Amino acid sequence: MIDIHTHVLPGIDDGSDSWETTLKLARAAAAEGITTLIATPHHADGRYTNEVAAVAELTRIANERLAEEGIPVLLLPGQEIRVHDGLLDAWQRGELLSLAGSRYVLLEMPSSRIPNRMEEWIYELGLMGVTAVIAHPERNAEVAKAPERLSRLVNAGACAQVTTHSLLGGFGKSVERTSWSLCEAGLVHAISSDAHHPERRGFRLREAYEAIRLRMGDNWSEYYAGNASSIANNRPLAELPSIPSRSMTSMSRFLSYFNRR
């Protein structure tokens, strides 16, 4: 398994606070059967600025530490980039990291809203050969109120990544319902942990894939796992599987509920 969104590098954001924690996270990943982690420290979010060279170097050192400890997990560099007005210029100046050197870049929206220029940024990145991966849209208040807004972003060229803890109820029932409804509507393309801590906020990736398999079928679990591999290896995403009829019914109810509000 490959996890495309993690905060495992030590001391550079609100994730791992030390090498000890990083090694614990890596051991926990290996115990789940995760072979590759893309390290995505926060960038340009008003609190953290993790520059390209610093992230790449710390990832290199982390891989050396994991090898010394005999932990069979590979770390690859990336960033979780908060969208901002200078996003496109920053990309063109080489100030942003894609996911594992691929065409995919992980973007974080504010939790309260979808920025007015979001569709424009996604479209312009696409013209430059870059695919935006929207991090945890299920935790965005505007997406929760109007899920068709995420559909518009996907139609503009983005793909979306839902968090394992959201699917499994770790952020509350409302976020859990939103997560499953987005998945069942075919608006989600990848699942990842957004892991920050080995105990308080670990991976749960295998558990999430099993929950998806039981609720939506083997083809969906395989689709999400395959897309994580495709992102890490710079390949096109797979075609969307057929959406189960019960999922279509669930999404219709979901949209109807919010249309009545």
pLDDT digits (tens, 9 = 90+) for 19-66: 999 999 999 999 999 999 999 999 999 999 999 999 999 999 999 999
Q: List % helix, strand, coil for the chain (3-state, nearest 5).
A: 50, 15, 40
The two three-digit tokens of residue 36, written as one number: 């590759």
Give me the sheet containing 36-39, strands edge to edge.
2-6, 36-39, 74-77
Domains and their CATH numbers in the chain = 2-259 (3.20.20.140)
- The span from the CA of 259 to the CA of 191, in Å, is 27
Lowest-pLDDT choice from 75-79, 113-117, 198-202, 257-261: 257-261
pLDDT digits (tens, 9 = 90+) for 188-232: 999 999 999 999 899 999 999 999 999 999 999 999 999 999 999
Q: Cα–Cα distances in Å, from 38 out to 65, 106, 154?
A: 16, 11, 22
What is the 8-class DSSP label of residue 11?
T
